[in-house]
Amino acid sequence: MFATARPLLFTLFLVLGGFWVNAAAESPAPLTFGIHPYLPAQELNTRFQPLADYIGKTLGRTVNIRVGRDYEEHINATGANEVDIAFMGPAQYVKLVDAYGPRPLLARLEVNGKPELFGAIVVRNDSRIHTLAGLKGHRFAFGDPDSTMSHIVPQAMMAEAGVPLAALSEYKFLGAHKNVALSVLSGDYDAGAVKMEILDEYAARGLRLLVKTPAVSEHLLVVRPDMPAGQVEKLRQALLNLKNLPNGAQVMQSINKGMTAFVPVTDADYDNLRTLMRSVESGK
């Protein structure tokens, strides 16, 4: 009896083993969700994990978060299709399209009911600087060179006010927005540029608004160009519908406390920023 059962068990093992091998082979590969390092990597992983889980559930695939080494590396990784889905700042998106061509767009953020991003030039509460012109001869902290609100827009505003970089006693790029806020509070720099979210976080610790930037179109999500059109549209609609789900607000406010929705986005939404960036690059 046992002699007869042994071949049967062996055959059953092979059949089941083949089933599991085939099932594993047919499992879709994980997706990579790229994010630029505007905050410390650990904090970004925490903030974006609920959205990554939602995307994974929508597409039936595991989604792994990848935080770029810096903004430029994130742009290049997205352009080289090393990430499947990318969360991008406005200026990064403009640079991505200029360098690598258009990408399918999913949605942009709506914060406090508007798809607009604001930044702030900040000083300490006890600073004697009260105007942009007053920045002349002082030390200034920027974030990343490719940051919309921690470099590009503030630099354009300063130049227009008669304070080009050459008029500063010193300036430095410190990476993340929080680095800028902390460097101003510590007195290492007299002023700096951050997104409004960071000013709100550090105002109680002594950070003061000097000038608010004009609005530009908010952060957005793009995907690699070879993602199947059906998946792109499924993901786009899932993002646009997130505000209507019971846990939607929790997912969105994990990213930004003031976030109210994902809303439609077009390439033309960033045309004003393109014009400003070209003006800065040409030295006008």
Residue where a domain stops, chosen among 190, 214, 238: 214
Does some domain include residue 198? yes
- Lookup: tokens for 87: 């969360």
Does some domain include residue 139? yes
CA diameter of the chain: 96
Domain at 261, CATH number: 3.40.190.10
pTM over cut 0.95 = no
**Looking at residue 20, what is its pLDDT?**
43
Is the same domain home to 103 and 126?
no
Is the same domain home to 96 and 222?
yes
Does some domain include residue 17? no
Which residues does the chain have with pLDDT short of 70? Answer: 1-26, 283-284
Number of domains in the chain: 2
Does some domain include residue 4? no
* Whole-angstrom distance, CA of residue 78 vs CA of residue 68: 10
**Residues 197-244 pLDDT 10s:** 999 999 999 999 999 999 999 999 999 999 999 999 999 999 999 999
Does some domain include residue 43? yes
**Looking at residue 16, what is its pLDDT?**
47
Is the same domain home to 246 and 233?
yes
Is the same domain home to 246 and 188?
no
CB atoms within 10 A of CB 175: 18
CA angle 187, 192, 193 (to 5 degrees): 155
Does some domain include residue 16? no
**Looking at residue 56, what is its pLDDT?**
97
Does some domain include residue 15? no
Residue where a domain stops, chosen among 187, 214, 241: 214
Is the same domain home to 74 and 103?
yes
SS (H, E, C) the chain: CHHHHHHHHHHHHHHHHHHHHHHHHHCCCCEEEEECCCCCHHHHHHHHHHHHHHHHHHHCCCEEEEECCCHHHHHHHHHCCCCCEEEECHHHHHHHHHHHCCCCEEEEEEECCECEECEEEEEECCCCCCCCHHHCCCEEEECCCCCHHHHHHHHHHHHHCCCCHHHCCEEEECCCHHHHHHHHHCCCCCEEEEEHHHHHHHHHHCEEEEEECCCEECCEEEECCCCCHHHHHHHHHHHHHHHHCCCHHHHHHHHCCCEEEEECCCHHHHHHHHHHHHHHHHCC
Amino acid at 246: P
Is the same domain home to 132 and 104?
no
Does some domain include residue 175? yes
Is the same domain home to 53 and 131?
no
Is the same domain home to 132 and 81?
no
Residue where a domain stops, chosen among 214, 233, 260: 214
Is the same domain home to 175 and 51?
no
Is the same domain home to 94 and 154?
no
Nearest to 150 by CA among 184, 115, 99: 184
Is the same domain home to 182 and 258?
no
Range of the domain at 146: 119-214
**Looking at residue 143, what is its pLDDT?**
97
